[in-house]
Structure 1
Amino acid sequence: MKLTPKTVEHLKAGDNRRREVWDLTLPAFGLRVYPSGRKSFFVMVRVRGEQKRKTIGTYPVVSLREARERAREIIRDAQFGILDEEPEEQTLTFDETVPMFIKLYAKPRNRGWKETERILLDKFQALSNKPLDQIRRADVVRILDDLIASGTPYRANRALSAIKKLFAWALDRGMVDVHPVAGLSPLHTEAARERVLTDTELEALMDAADTEGYPFGDLFKVLALTGQRRGEVSGMRWSEIDLERAIWTIPSARSKNKQSHDVPLAPQVVAILKSVPRFLGSDFVFTTTGRTPISGFGRAKDRIDDAVGASDWRTHDLRRTVASGMARMSIPPHVVEKVLNHKSGVISGVAAIYNRYGYEKEKRKALETWADYVEALAHASEAPVNDGPVDQGLIESA
């Protein structure tokens, strides 16, 4: 089409694909439009018998008139054989792209960016030195198939999610022309987890956590006694805790649902927190450096697995264990949801808007009842067996 200021302003790209429009006024001159909305002028010329694409600039920094004039100059210089060739821009490799993606996209938007970075660099090592625009769908599928074959299908799904985001970001920035895994469905269908630790396993876990000590052992005990998320507990700050009132306030900035959450602390949890060492000048409760919260839970969990006698559970299953345990104790579902800081559930929608009651007394009673129960497991061999009726919907939502 004939490019005009109006057409350039309103041109759109296709779905997940860039669009190239050639100018009827000046042959070999055109505009490339990306799904992100970015627009770049270019010109095609023949240099020593070989076709070359020269990028002129991006719109609206460079106007249509300026781009067309510059294109004429490049075409003229090419025909006279005096075109100064700039070195071709080298495509970044996968390894070079990941740090850029993490810094510019993942880190500002996602608190779990470290895990995303680990997945991309660890699971896709085979792509490390490959130029980003040469990575094909089959390359990624081959890696995902290997993850499934190794017995970790859910990790294959996490890996696919991470690399999909990377390529979507690279496509928007014009770093690649095609998203190689766009539309690729997860290769493994995950069933909703229902794993709940039995009383015997929970008792063994608490004993193993005692042996493990600070920081990971104490962390696992707080997880089992409060039912809060691992990231929220591991990032716990002293400034969030009032030991006299026995309450921990998770600020909205650290809460998964972006809502501040008060967690009443049972006496057993207060005792744990009073016993842990404090790093001078550090606000972190669980830390080995004083500068950052602890991370890398795998080895500690492996040691606890040996004592529990099972490895098929995850730390997030402790939330489900707390939820199901409270259900067996006839604690109302809406109180359990408040303990877990669920945004949806029994009290949701319009009811959640008008019901602003925090259920602090009910939450405290529930958590203290649960902590007493867990403590009793270590002191009474006749403690009840974990086989009572459970609210299945509550377990799945945990």
Structure 2
Amino acid sequence: MKDKPEDIACNRFNFLKKSIEALPLPEPGKRSTYYDLQSPWLQIRVTSTGTKTFCIFKRVKNGNPERITLGRYPDLTIEQARREAARIAVEISDGKNPADIKRGQKKELTFSELFSDYLERHSRPNKKTWFEDQAQFRLYLEKPLGKKRLSSIDRKSIAHIHSNITKAGYAPTANRVKALLSSIFGWAICEGLCESNPVIGIKSNKENQRDRFLQSDELPRFFKALAEEPNSTIKDYVLISLLTGARRANVLSMRWQDINFERAEWRIEETKNGTPQTVTLSQEATEILLARKTSNQAIFVFPGVGKSGHLEEPKKGWKRILERAGIQNLRIHDLRRTLGSWQAKTGASLAIIGKSLNHKNQNTTAIYARLDLDPVRDSVNKATSAMLTAAGLKPLTKVTKIRGKKIG
């Protein structure tokens, strides 16, 4: 219903903070409109619940009146509302209709909508590690960017995210998130969903090669904390990560059909290097897997509730284990380095270590190709026994001790 001239006259006053905050509430279901004496067309509308919203009400080029919402008071101050009203008035004088622009913005994708398209149309079909993209989105991108329209995301907002992750002590992770964002916007440009990539021009962090692995004095505490972990899936995932030295993504998506218990081998059809890998399984690793295999219908060794069907993000469980063990600055990927380090401690050659961890090095690829699994198996078994000995466990003791019973 349009306001009558006499109502407008009664409801027009100079907008001041104390005047606006003293405005009476209308009857339930009703809305009152007030007009600013200083700024033509600027309104503040008050609902029965006390919500106060700044608007502009003005005729546009075609003669039709348009109401354009500016924002809520006090999030938007009186002076900010007046400046915005003046800016929009100029646009209308130039023949533009800001209301049409706002309606167009509502049709524009949010970043969450773009990521959903990227995940389903590009990441899932083409990337073995698509679930890592999903985890990074949930951890680092959904909150700061999820509801934003694509046109409002600029280099500054991306740089802010990269900086915050870096300051939290995760410089390499900040680079991975930056790379994911660049991939998302690059794909969106190809699909005609946006016109520019706001990631371009943001410098990556310098990454120092990590040399962190579990030390001898840390192993007893680590295995004790692991035995106390209430989530058996997390517990076994960590153990298999340590005892195989396989990459995080491969262990997460480990399938029963790829495990041959007779040969004590796990076949990974495609690794990060783009090549297949046969992972030798120690006695301890084999016993852990046999204890987990309770059904022939299961697909994944470490099932999860997400769309992938397998465990996707063990971050919380990993944090619990480290806190109980009193161990700092250890990442899940460091378990892979731990096996390699203990192989070196027990006399394995670099070629053996490279073969067991599926390292791709042009200078030694030919040597790796000529190695069979027997020396690799011996090396992994020696390293496993050495780690368990350092942890206070007998090398050939039953793995049920590792998996949860009291360590003597």
Q: TM-score range by the shorter chain?
A: 0.5 to 0.7
The 2-side partners of 1:311 and 1:162 are apart by 27
1:210-359 aligned at under 5 Å gives the runs 210-212=227-229, 214-252=232-270, 255-288=271-304, 292-344=309-361, 346-348=363-365, 351=366, 356-359=369-372
Tell me: CA distance 1:362–1:315, structure 2 relative to 1, closer, same or farther (3 Å): same
Give SS of 2:370's match: coil
Q: Contact (CA 8 Å) 2:258, 2:268: kept in 1 or not?
A: yes
Tell me: CA distance 1:160–1:337, structure 2 relative to 1, closer, same or farther (3 Å): same
Kindly provide the CA deviation profile for residues 93-122 of structure 1, in whole angstroms up to 9, marking residues without a partner as x.
222211112222222222222222333354
Q: Contact (CA 8 Å) 2:302, 2:310: kept in 1 or not?
A: yes
Corresponding position of 1:53: none
Kindly provide the CA deviation profile for residues 191-213 of structure 1, in whole angstroms up to 9, marking residues without a partner as x.
11111210122232223222326
Larger Rg: 2
Corresponding position of 1:174: 192
The 2-side partners of 1:361 and 1:319 are apart by 20
The 2-side partners of 1:322 and 1:122 are apart by 28
Pair 1:379 & 2:392 matched: yes
Pair 1:153 & 2:162 matched: no
The 1-side partners of 2:363 and 2:244 are apart by 20
Amino acid at match of 1:234: L
Pair 1:362 & 2:367 matched: no
The 2-side partners of 1:206 and 1:309 are apart by 12
- Using the size of structure 1 for normalisation, the TM-score is 0.66
Structure 2 unaligned residues grouped into runs of 5+: 1-60, 64-99, 395-408
Tell me: CA distance 1:204–1:133, structure 2 relative to 1, closer, same or farther (3 Å): same
The 2-side partners of 1:167 and 1:238 are apart by 36
1:4-153 aligned at under 5 Å gives the runs 90-124=107-141, 125-153=143-171
Tell me: CA distance 1:183–1:224, structure 2 relative to 1, closer, same or farther (3 Å): same
The 2-side partners of 1:328 and 1:345 are apart by 24
Query: Offset at 1:177?
Result: 2.6
Structure 2 residue corresponding to 1:191, chosen from 208, 225, 246: 208
Tell me: CA distance 1:169–1:330, structure 2 relative to 1, closer, same or farther (3 Å): same
Q: Contact (CA 8 Å) 1:214, 1:276: kept in 2 or not?
A: no
The 1-side partners of 2:134 and 2:301 are apart by 25
Give SS of 2:278's match: strand
Amino acid at match of 1:256: K
Pair 1:206 & 2:219 matched: no
Q: Contact (CA 8 Å) 1:302, 1:311: kept in 2 or not?
A: no
Structure 1 unaligned residues grouped into runs of 5+: 1-46, 50-84, 382-398
Tell me: CA distance 1:146–1:226, structure 2 relative to 1, closer, same or farther (3 Å): closer
The 1-side partners of 2:139 and 2:345 are apart by 41
Amino acid at match of 1:161: A
Amino acid at match of 1:205: F
Of residues 194-203 and 143-152 in structure 1, the stretch that sits farther from structure 2 once superposed is 143-152
Tell me: CA distance 1:170–1:317, structure 2 relative to 1, closer, same or farther (3 Å): same
Tell me: CA distance 1:113–1:358, structure 2 relative to 1, closer, same or farther (3 Å): same
Q: How many residues align?
A: 292
Amino acid at match of 1:148: T
Kindly provide the CA deviation profile for residues 256-309 of structure 1, in whole angstroms up to 9, marking residues without a partner as x.
223222222221222222222424511322225698222221121112102321
Q: Contact (CA 8 Å) 2:220, 2:392: kept in 1 or not?
A: no
Kindly provide the CA deviation profile for residues 57-94 of structure 1, in whole angstroms up to 9, marking residues without a partner as x.
xxxxxxxxxxxxxxxxxxxxxxxxxxxx9x96832222
Q: Contact (CA 8 Å) 1:266, 1:368: kept in 2 or not?
A: yes
Of residues 372-381 and 235-244 in structure 1, the stretch that sits farther from structure 2 once superposed is 372-381
Corresponding position of 1:73: none
Give SS of 2:228's match: helix
Give SS of 2:294's match: coil
Query: Offset at 1:332?
Result: 1.0
The 2-side partners of 1:304 and 1:200 are apart by 16
Amino acid at match of 1:360: L
Amino acid at match of 2:388: E
Tell me: CA distance 1:197–1:205, structure 2 relative to 1, closer, same or farther (3 Å): same
- Aligned-residue sequence identity (percent) comes to 27
